[in-house]
Amino acid sequence: ADRIEQLPIPLKRNLSDLLGEARRHYEAGNFNEAIIYLYSYLLVELDKAQLIRLLRGKTNRQYLRELQDAPPTLGSLMERTMIAFEDAFFGNYRLEKARFEECYQQLDEFHHHLEPSVV
């Protein structure tokens, strides 16, 4: 709950299942809403993994800079979703299904990069 309060955007409801909410909006065809919840989910998970420090007032570019020491693919996955989020949220562009799916389909790889390395 504390992490959700630090998100850069106010969510319409206080949710503990951001990914579930992203799926729900996707299935309803609300891709702009879906990307907002997907991006919020990614930020919260990166904060949990201590790869970023989620803090209201930070910019999306600041979060990307915090990922400089993370695997490059993690940064590019995050950047792709961030740009789609910004287009939908700030630019008021209508996000297409295919563009949302490009971001969503990267979740397995995203989760893989968050897993601690087994030595």
Q: Which are the contacts of 91, defined by CB distance < 8 A and separation ≥ 6?
A: none
Based on its alpha-carbon atoms, the radius of gyration of the chain, rounded to whole angstroms, reads: 14
Residue with tokens 């420090």: 53
Mean model confidence pLDDT for the chain: 87
Dihedral angle over CA of 53, 59, 61, 67, nearest 10: 0
Q: What is the rounded CA–CA span in Å between residue 9 and residue 32? A: 13
pLDDT in tens, 4-59: 665 666 555 556 789 999 999 999 999 999 999 999 999 999 999 999 999 888 99
Total length of the chain: 119
Say what the pTM is.
Answer: 0.85
Per the structure block, which two tokens stand in for 64? 């990307």
For position 43, what pLDDT does the model report? 93
Q: Cα separation of 102 and 109, whole Å?
A: 12
Q: What percent of the chain has pLDDT over 90?
A: 68
In what helix (H) or strand (E) does residue 67 lie, and over which residues does it extend? none
2 — pLDDT class (breaks 50, 70, 90): low
CA distance 63 to 42: 11
Q: How far is the first Cα of the chain from the last one, in angstroms, to the nearest whole number?
A: 32
